[in-house]
Structure 1
Amino acid sequence: MRFNFKLIALAAALICPILSTPARAERLKDIASFGGVRQNQLSGYGIVVGLDGTGDQTTQTPFTVQSIMAMLQQKGISLPAGTQLQLKNVAAVMVTTSLPAFAQPGQTIDVTVSSMGNAKSLRGGTLLMTPLQGADGQVYAMAQGNILVGGVGASGGGASTQVNQLAVGRISAGATVERAVASNLGADNQVKLELNTTDFSTASRVVEAINDKFGPGIATALDGRVIRVRVPSSSDQRVSFLGILENMDVRSSEAAAKVILNARTGSIVMNRAVTLDTCAISHGNLTVTIGGDTQVSQPPAGSRGATVVTQNPSASVKKDPGRVIMLNNGASLAEVVKAMNAIGATPQDLLSILQSLKAAGSLRAELEII
C-alpha cells in the first residue's frame, strides 16, 4: 500500500502562508475546564428479553441461564431441581453510560447496551431494570427500555448479509438518575481552571487576561496547567462570573512541533511547526520477481508423438535507482511533504525515514507512532 502525499502537500501549501502569523485567540472554554466539573462513568449487568430467536446460546453462555433463574426466584417463581432452560429470546448485556456533571435525581440520560455472550442481534429486545453503578460501587441510575439497534441483517438458504453492528444498541433517555454526585465547585470562594495541555506560556496569558478584565489578584497560576481563580460567594453571581470567564478570548501559545504516524493505515499528520535541519534523504527499492510460463507442445495430427507440458521458470531482480533529496536548514512543512512525495515513500518507508531523521537529530519535532 502506497501513501499519497499530494493531498497533504496541497494542505501544507495552504498552511505555509500563515506560518508567521501570531497565535490566534481562543475561547477559554475551548482550552481549559473547571476542576471538579466532569462526567462519571456508570455500568451495570442486565438482561435483554423479547428477542426473535437471536439471543444467547445457553449451552455456551451459562451465566445467562443463571441470571434468569436468579431473577425468577426474586419474583417468587421456583423452578424444579434439574430444570434445563433453553432460552433463545434472552441475552446477557452490559449497560454503560456517563453521568453528566451536576445531574440531579429524576434526570434521564442515554445508555448503550452491548451483548456479553453470543447473541446474534439485540434488535427488538427490551432491557429489564438494571442498576448502574459508579467506581465506588454505589447505584447512581436505573436503566430500562426498548433497544434501538442501528444495524440490519438477513439470512436464508445458507447465505447471510449484515450492515453495521447488531450486538450493540442504544436507549434514548433509558436511564433515570437516582443519586447526585456531590460537587465542591466554588468551595472557599475559588475555582481551579485546568488547561487541557500543560503550557506555561498559555497559563501566564490566561492569568494576565483574567486579571486585566476582573482586577489584579483574581487569578493565580499554580503551575503550567492549573490556575486558581477567586469567585463571588453568591451562587448566582458565581454562575454568572464563570459564564463570562469561559467565554473570554485568550491567545494560546504555538503548538509544539509534532508528527503523528499511523503505521497500520499509513496516515500521517504534521502540524505547521515541524521543520528540519540540513539533511539528505536517500531512498531506493530492491524488487525480486519470480514467475513461470506454462507451455504446451502439441504433436502434428497423425504422428505418434505425445502432448508435453513444460514449465519455463523466470527470475528477475529490479533495483530502483536511489534518489537523494537535499533539505536545507529550517525546511518548512510544505518542503518536507514535497520531499517525501518526490522520493515515492510508502508508509513503511516513511516510518523508517522519520525515525532515522529523529535519531540523526534533524527532525525538529516529536515523533509519535500509533
Structure 2
Amino acid sequence: MGSVWLGWPLDAHAIRIKEVAAVQGVRTNQLTGFGLVVGLDGTGDQTTQMPYTSQGMSNYLQQLGMTLPADAKVQMKNVAAVLVTAQLPAFAQPGQMIDVTVSSMGNSKSLRGGTLITTPLKGVDGEIYALAQGNLLVGGAGASGGGSKVQINHLSAGRIPSGAQVERTVPTAFALGDTIDLGLNASDFQTARRVAEAINTRMGKGTANAMDGRLVRLRAPIDPNARVSFLAEVEEIQLETSVPAARVIINTRTGSIVMNGAVTIGPCAVAHGNLSVSISSTPVVSQPNPLSGGQTVVAEKTDIKITQEGGALVQMEASPKLSDLVRMLNGLGATPQDLLAILQAIKAAGAMNAELEVI
C-alpha cells in the first residue's frame, strides 16, 4: 500500500518567525579541497591506476624539500587520494574548529585507520578559508581472505570531528545599513503579510514592510549589540500560519506519496486492474532410437501466459478531509506505483484540487 503523511493540520497553529524565515546573508558556505590520507594498512590506492595519488604525494614531498627522480616507480599502498568537504558556518572566526568529511576518490579499499595530512579548503572564489588535518573516524569494518570478503557499513568515507581550523572570515552585510531583510523559507504572500503585521504589533508600526511574497524588510538599530537583541526578539515573535497550498509530492523512484492536509478530492469514479505477463521455459530432451547413430538433443519449450485482473469501477465521493482521501485510496487495493498513476489521472480529470510535483 502507498503510505501518505499528514504534514499540516487543518486548523491554523502558532509558530515562531524563526521557523518560517531567516536573515538574508546569514548563511553557511561550502568548502572543498584535495587531500591525501596516509597510514593505511595496505588498503590505499593502486598508484599505477590512480596517477593523481602519486602526483599529489610527489607535490607534497617537494614542499618538504624532497624531490623524487622522474623515472621513479613508487608503489604507495598506504596512501589514498581523497576529497575533503566542510561547511563554514556564518560568522565563523579564525581559529574556530569545524567538522570535515573525507571521501575516497580512487580505488582505495578502506580509509579506516588513516590520517589526513594538511589540506587547504577553498571556497568557490578560490580563496583558502580553512586547513584540515587529523585522524579519520570510519564507521565500518571489513576483512577479506581466500577469495571471500566481509564488510560492514561503508569504508570509503569518514569524518574528522573538529578536523579543520578556520583561517579566514567571510564578510557579511549583517552589520551594514539601517535595514535587515528576512527571507521566507517558502514564497507565500499571506505568510509575508502576517510576519510583517506580527513584527509591527510587537516592535512598533513601520518596523517591518512586506516587499513581496518572499522578502520582509526590517528597520533595525545601527549599534551591533542592539541589532542582535532586536533580531533575537523578532525571531521569537509568534504568528498564526494558515494551511499551505494543496500539494501532492510523488517520488517515482521509490513509490512514495506525500500530501498535505489541504488536499481535497471531488466526486469521481476509478477503475483499477492489473495486467501481468508470465513466461516459463521447460527443458525438453530428445533421445535418438537405439543403433540409429543419432545424438541426444536438448531443446526448450516456452509457455507465455497473459493474465488481466478485473478492474471494478469504484466510486469515490467528495472528500474534504485528508483522512477520508487516504482511506478511499487504500480501499482501491493498488500498489504504490499504481497509486502514482491513479493520482495523476484524478488530477487530469479535474477531481483533485492539488498541485502534483514529481521528484
User: Is the structural similarity TM-score above 0.5?
Assistant: yes
Match of 2:145 among 134, 156, 169: 156
- Work out which of the residue numbers 260, 267, 270 in structure 2 matches 1:278: 267
1:335 CA drift (Å): 2.6
Distance (Å, rounded) in 1 between the aligned partners of 2:178 and 2:335: 57
Q: Give the equivalent residue in structure 2 for 1:304.
A: none
**Cα deviation, residue 164, structure 1:** 1.3
SS at match of 1:251: strand
- 2: CA distance between counterparts of 1:75 and 1:315? 71
Which residue is equivalent to 1:335?
A: 324
Alignment match, 1:205:
194
Post-superposition CA distance 1:169-223 (Å, at most 9, x none):
1111110000011111142221101100010001100110000011100001111
Give the match for residue 132 of structure 1: 121
C-alpha distance after superposition, 1:123-174 (max 9, x if no partner): 1111111111001111111111111111111112211111111110111111
Bigger mean CA offset, 257-266 vs 121-130: 257-266
Mind listing any 5+ residue stretches in structure 1 that lack a counterpart?
297-308
**Equivalent in the alignment of 2:82:** 93
What secondary structure is seen at the aligned counterpart in 1 of 2:177?
helix
Q: 1:63 aligns with which of 47, 52, 57?
A: 52
Q: Distance in 2 between matches of 1:112 and 1:310?
A: 57
Amino acid at match of 1:50: G
Counterpart residue identity of residue 286, structure 1:
L
Aligned to 1:120: 109
Render the CA deviation track for 1:296-335: whole Å, top value 9, x for unaligned.
Answer: 9xxxxxxxxxxxx999976654432212221233443223
Q: Which residue of 2 aligns with 1:325?
A: 314
Unaligned runs of 5+ in 2: 286-297
Amino acid at match of 2:321: S
Contact 1:325–1:339 (8 Å) recurs in 2:
no
TM alignment of 1:215-294, pairs within 5 A: 215-291=204-280
> Residue deviations 1:245-275, cap 9 Å, x none?
1111111221111111222222211111111
Alpha-carbon contact 2:138-2:157 (below 8 Å) kept: yes
Aligned partners of 2:307, 2:147: CA distance in 1, in Å? 47
> Separation in 2 of the partners of 1:47 and 1:310?
58
CA drift at 1:55: 0.4
Shift of 1:347: 2.4
Secondary structure of the 2:143 match is strand
- How far apart in 1 are the matches of 2:302 and 2:62? 74
CA distance in 1, matches of 2:50, 2:279: 50
Q: Is the 8 A contact 2:115 2:133 kept in 1?
A: yes
8 Å Cα contact 1:258/1:366 also seen in 2: yes
Match of 2:38 among 32, 37, 49: 49
Count of matched residue positions in the alignment of Structure 1 and Structure 2: 350
Distance of aligned partners of 1:314 and 1:42 in 2 relative to their CA distance in 1, 3 Å threshold: closer
1:193–1:229 Cα contact (<8 Å) kept: yes
Specify the alignment match of 1:108 in structure 2: 97
Distance between the aligned counterparts of 1:294 and 1:361, measured in 2? Answer: 53
Does the 8 Å CA contact 1:323/1:343 hold for their aligned counterparts?
no
Distance 1:130 1:357, change over 3 A: same
Query: What is aligned with 1:28?
Result: 17
Higher helix share: 1
Give the match's secondary structure for 1:70.
helix
Distance of 1:292 and 1:128 partners within structure 2:
59
How far, CA to CA, are the matches of 2:246 and 2:354 in structure 1? 4
Q: Secondary structure at the match of 2:90?
A: coil
Indicate how the Cα distance of structure 1 residues 204 and 193 shifts in structure 2: closer, same or farther if over 3 A, else same.
Answer: same
Aligned partners of 2:111 and 2:158 also within 8 Å: yes
Is the Cα–Cα contact under 8 Å of residues 273 and 308 in structure 2 kept in the other structure?
Answer: yes
Q: Per the alignment, do residues 288 and 93 of structure 1 end up closer, same or farther by CA in structure 2, a change over 3 Å counting? A: closer
Given that 1:290 and 1:315 are in contact with CA atoms closer than 8 Å, whether structure 2 keeps it comes out as: yes
**Aligned-pair CA distance for 1:348:** 2.4
**Counterparts of 2:128 and 2:299, CA distance in 1:** 77
User: Is residue 195 of structure 1 aligned with residue 203 of structure 2?
Assistant: no
Paired with 1:295 and 1:55, the residues of 2 have a C-alpha distance of 52
Contact 1:186 1:231 in 2 (8 A): no
Paired with 1:250 and 1:155, the residues of 2 have a C-alpha distance of: 59
Query: Does 116-125 or 183-192 show the bigger shift?
Result: 183-192
Query: 1:293 offset after TM fit, Å?
Result: 7.5
